């Protein structure tokens, strides 16, 4: 976003508000390499449930679900009603909610493992933190893996706690280990039996101006993979979230019912 906003300032012949920091060597691998975590984000999960057949569908459905601030608060209250959580964020509860809904919609068998992947902003988690104007990837993927049956049958708070633990796992040591792991293996995160969430809800697209005024709406043209779900900011104050996702047409009915009846918190759905 700093790049996009700088681009907008350049288009308007304005001086750059933030000068880019371009030294990428601050995130170079260690020598010698030191892999200190298992890094299950790269783990390939064998799919042996009905979800494997559903995911073979070539016909997919794109949907956008809108959660305003009140519905997000209701989800938080639902997650905390059993007293197992002290607090939770909108991202944590919505991620857990969608992970459960998708797992059920894909008819994963109880003993099938399922994985949640999402990016964590690591800029302030490095020691020392990355420079404010660092131009480059400042994220790291973290993960949570559990049995589909446990995720579906246990309370929403169980899924939220899994998300929180995945976030808590991210530290300077974890990120340095991930850099070394990738340098050694050149592996790519596996998306089998996986939901990958990427959150753009806090990116300040609404401040970008190329000389034609503030934008009205922003977002990607499409999603890169059927396993990817995108969070976009919604509303003037950006305190709501639009959820963009795709899933096999054969799972449409189940997913729609889950979003509309298993939860009372969905605001609207749009094709």
Residues 160-173 have a mean pLDDT of 96
C-alpha–C-alpha distance, residues 197 and 219, integer Å: 15
Is the CB of residue 96 less than 8 Å from the CB of residue 75? Answer: no
- What confidence tens digit (pLDDT) does each residue in 3-32 have? 888 999 999 999 998 899 999 899 999 999
C-alpha–C-alpha distance, residues 51 and 144, integer Å: 19
- 3-class secondary-structure state, position 65: strand
C-alpha–C-alpha distance, residues 101 and 65, integer Å: 13
Which residue has tokens 């131009």?
135
For residue 158, pLDDT beyond 90? yes
- What confidence tens digit (pLDDT) does each residue in 76-134 have? 999 999 999 999 999 999 999 999 989 988 889 999 999 999 999 989 999 999 998 89
User: What pLDDT, on the 0 to 100 scale, is given for residue 49?
Assistant: 57
Q: Lowest mean pLDDT of 53-57, 112-116, 200-204, name the range.
A: 53-57
User: What pLDDT, on the 0 to 100 scale, is given for residue 69?
Assistant: 87
Is the CB of residue 99 less than 8 Å from the CB of residue 151? Answer: yes
- Under the banding of pLDDT at 50, 70 and 90, the label for residue 270 is very low
Helices 156-168 + 90-105 axis angle, to 10: 120
Residues 173-194 have a mean pLDDT of 93
Average pLDDT, the chain: 86
CA dihedral 32, 167, 258, 48 (to 10 degrees): 30
Strand order in the sheet with 240-248: 139-147, 113-121, 194-199, 228-234, 240-248, 60-67, 268-270
User: What pLDDT, on the 0 to 100 scale, is given for residue 207?
Assistant: 80
CB atoms under 10 Å from CB of 107, counted, come to: 17
Question: pTM of this prediction?
Answer: 0.88
Is the CB of residue 117 less than 8 Å from the CB of residue 141? Answer: yes
- Under the banding of pLDDT at 50, 70 and 90, the label for residue 268 is very low
Higher per-residue confidence, 268 vs 149: 149
Is the CB of residue 103 less than 8 Å from the CB of residue 115? Answer: no
C-alpha 69, offset from chain centre? 18
Residues 163-185 have a mean pLDDT of 95
C-alpha–C-alpha distance, residues 87 and 83, integer Å: 10
């Amino acid at each position: 976003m700093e790049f996009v906003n700088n681009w907008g300032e350049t288009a308007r012949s304005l001086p750059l508000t933030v000068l880019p920091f371009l030294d990428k060597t601050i995130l170079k691998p260690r020598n010698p390499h030191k892999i200190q975590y298992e890094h299950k984000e790269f783990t390939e999960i064998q799919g042996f449930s009905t979800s494997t057949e559903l995911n073979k569908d070539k016909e997919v459905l794109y949907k956008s679900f809108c959660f305003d601030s009140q519905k997000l608060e209701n989800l938080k209250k639902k997650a905390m009603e059993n007293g197992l959580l002290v607090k939770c964020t909108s991202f944590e509860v919505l991620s857990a909610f969608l992970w459960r809904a998708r797992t059920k919609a894909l008819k994963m068998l109880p003993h099938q493992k399922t994985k949640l992947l999402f990016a964590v902003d690591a800029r302030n988690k490095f020691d020392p933190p990355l420079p404010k104007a660092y131009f480059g990837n400042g994220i790291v993927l973290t993960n949570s893996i559990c049995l589909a049956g446990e995720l579906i049958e246990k309370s929403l708070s169980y899924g939220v706690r899994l998300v929180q633990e995945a976030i808590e796992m991210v530290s300077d040591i974890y990120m340095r280990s991930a850099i070394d792991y990738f340098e050694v293996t050149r592996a790519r995160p596996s998306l089998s039996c996986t939901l990958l969430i990427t959150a753009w809800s806090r990116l300040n697209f609404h401040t970008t101006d190329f000389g034609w005024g503030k934008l009205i709406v922003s977002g990607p043209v499409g999603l890169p993979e059927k396993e990817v779900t995108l969070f976009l900011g919604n509303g003037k104050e950006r305190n709501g979230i639009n959820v963009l996702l795709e899933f096999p047409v054969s799972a449409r009915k189940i997913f729609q019912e889950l979003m509309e009846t298993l939860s009372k918190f969905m605001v609207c759905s749009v094709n």
